[in-house]
Amino acid sequence: MSHINVSINGRQYRMACEEGQEVRLVKLAESLELRIGSLRGKFGEIGDARLTVMAALTVCDELLDAGQRIRSLEEELEALRDVRMAAADHARMTQTAVANALNSAAERIEKTTQVLNRTIGGGVAIG
């Protein structure tokens, strides 16, 4: 477990995090600090607790929106997977139909060739 100091709203906090997560925690604290600074710029000095709560609500709002976008994209992805599967099935069926048509045409050509060979072979006198 690592410990780092972060500054949020002008105050220092000693925070614990897992090894390797120090940079991420610093970035999170910086992001929160920026949000609080932005709110302070919009609303002035309205109290530390209120600024912190407003920043937290802003983050929660963005998180909720992101979750809804993720769900929407997951639904869209699932629909696209279904379309892809249907297209693949259709392509397989088309490929089978074309192969069957070609085989049928080859059989008819072979039968026609046999008939022609018998007709030509039977009508020619050798000798």
Closest CA to 72 of 80, 84, 60: 80
The pLDDT value recorded for residue 122 is 61
The pLDDT value recorded for residue 45 is 83
The pLDDT value recorded for residue 98 is 97
The pLDDT value recorded for residue 44 is 86
User: Dihedral (C-alpha) 59, 63, 66, 67: value to the nearest 10 degrees?
Assistant: -170
The pLDDT value recorded for residue 119 is 86
Interval 101-112: pLDDT, tens:
999 999 999 999
Low-confidence stretches of the chain (pLDDT beneath 50): 125-127
Cβ neighbours of 122 (radius 10 Å)? 8
The pLDDT value recorded for residue 10 is 86
